[in-house]
């Protein structure tokens, strides 16, 4: 039996103006697997993540999430752009967590979690609150539902951001350097939440410089440089026995 990959990116190209940023990126992520994307600054990792949920339009190639083409409908061998609301519906199935936990500052923690499900998800207020509380418990912040984001530490805010992304019950979670903006002592609590999310079977694509996390949690590590995938495989292989000189040079720097 073959399972449909949760993510299938095939020969993705993307330029900004005349500057090529992605030069033929292909990768597959199976349901329940964690892929860590590593690579130097400017290698195209964030751009690729943004392409996955169609925040960026790609120039060539194709991206499927859950077996569905992102941003397009195919008919008669041609691609037709989806309407904005159809793109939003696709995107609702994908949670994203950024480096800067951009919570809504004027809403309480619990309100941050109930907003999307009630406004775009068609969930009743009562159910959204129940769901929100369950998620807060999951990230260890059940007691802070009535706090405002500014009253929380950076690590707590990022845990709320993860809970908020989960509130729409996504089938895929994307993380873009979720711990890079945190004070070192707050990194662990966020990685712990991500680890337990991975253990629960969530499919995840994580851009990170946390090599310990990648080694322990990733099923696959993908090393990108200059807009291409240089090397990918299990962490023991890519991190423990890198084959490409560029991978070795990068790892020597981050260790």
**Binding partner at 158 among Mg ion, ligand ADP, none, C-beta below 5 to 8 Å by kind:** none
The residues of the shown chain that bind ligand ADP, judged by CB under 6 A, are: 16, 21, 39, 41-47
CB 131 within 8 A of CB 178: no
Question: Which one, 45 or 159, has the nearer CB to ligand ADP?
Answer: 45
Question: Which one, 101 or 223, has the nearer CB to ligand ADP?
Answer: 223
Instruction: Please tell me the distance from the alpha carbon of residue 72 to that of residue 197, in angstroms, as a whole number.
Output: 30
CB of 185 to ligand ADP, least distance (A): 25
CB of 42 to ligand ADP, least distance (A): 4
CB 224 within 8 A of CB 25: yes
Question: Which one, 22 or 65, has the nearer CB to ligand ADP?
Answer: 22
**Binding partner at 132 among Mg ion, ligand ADP, none, C-beta below 5 to 8 Å by kind:** none
**Residues forming a β-bridge with 200:** none
Instruction: Please tell me the distance from the alpha carbon of residue 165 to that of residue 143, in angstroms, as a whole number.
Output: 19
CB of 146 to Mg ion, least distance (A): 34
The residues of the shown chain that bind Mg ion, judged by CB under 5 A, are: 46
* Structure token pair of residue 226: 């200059």
CB 26 within 8 A of CB 55: no
CB of 213 to ligand ADP, least distance (A): 17
CB of 107 to ligand ADP, least distance (A): 28
Alpha-carbon distances, residue 200 vs 91, 102, 230 (angstroms):
22, 25, 30
Question: Which one, 45 or 164, has the nearer CB to ligand ADP?
Answer: 45
> Cα 147 to chain center, whole Å?
26
Instruction: Please tell me the distance from the alpha carbon of residue 35 to that of residue 208, in angstroms, as a whole number.
Output: 10
**Binding partner at 44 among Mg ion, ligand ADP, none, C-beta below 5 to 8 Å by kind:** ligand ADP
- At which residue do the structure tokens 């925040």 appear? 55
Question: Which one, 160 or 213, has the nearer CB to ligand ADP?
Answer: 213
Question: Which one, 46 or 220, has the nearer CB to Mg ion?
Answer: 46
CB of 254 to Mg ion, least distance (A): 14
Instruction: Please tell me the distance from the alpha carbon of residue 24 to that of residue 32, in angstroms, as a whole number.
Output: 25
């Amino acid at each position: 039996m073959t399972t449909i990959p949760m993510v299938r990116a095939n020969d993705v190209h993307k330029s900004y103006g005349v500057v090529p940023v992605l030069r033929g990126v292909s990768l597959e992520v199976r349901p329940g697997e964690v892929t860590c994307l590593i690579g130097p600054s400017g290698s195209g990792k964030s751009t690729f993540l943004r392409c996955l949920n169609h925040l960026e339009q790609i120039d060539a190639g194709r991206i499927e999430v859950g077996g569905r083409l992102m941003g397009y409908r195919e008919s008669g061998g041609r691609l037709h752009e989806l309407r904005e609301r159809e793109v939003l519906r696709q995107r609702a199935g994908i949670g994203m967590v950024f480096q800067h936990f951009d919570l809504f500052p004027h809403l309480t923690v619990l309100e941050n979690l109930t907003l999307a499900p009630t406004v775009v998800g068609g969930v009743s207020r009562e159910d959204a609150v129940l769901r929100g509380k369950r998620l807060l418990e999951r990230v260890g912040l059940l007691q802070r539902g009535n706090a405002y984001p500014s009253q929380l530490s950076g690590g707590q805010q990022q845990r709320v951001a993860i809970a908020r992304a989960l509130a729409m019950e996504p089938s895929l979670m994307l993380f873009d350097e979720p711990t890079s903006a945190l004070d070192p002592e707050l990194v662990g609590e966020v990685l712990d939440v991500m680890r337990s999310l991975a253990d629960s079977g969530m499919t995840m694509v994580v851009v990170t410089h946390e090599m310990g996390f990648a080694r322990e949690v990733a099923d696959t590590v993908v090393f990108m440089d200059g807009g291409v995938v240089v090397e990918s495989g299990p962490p023991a292989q890519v991190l423990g026995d890198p084959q490409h000189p560029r991978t070795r040079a990068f790892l020597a720097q981050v260790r």
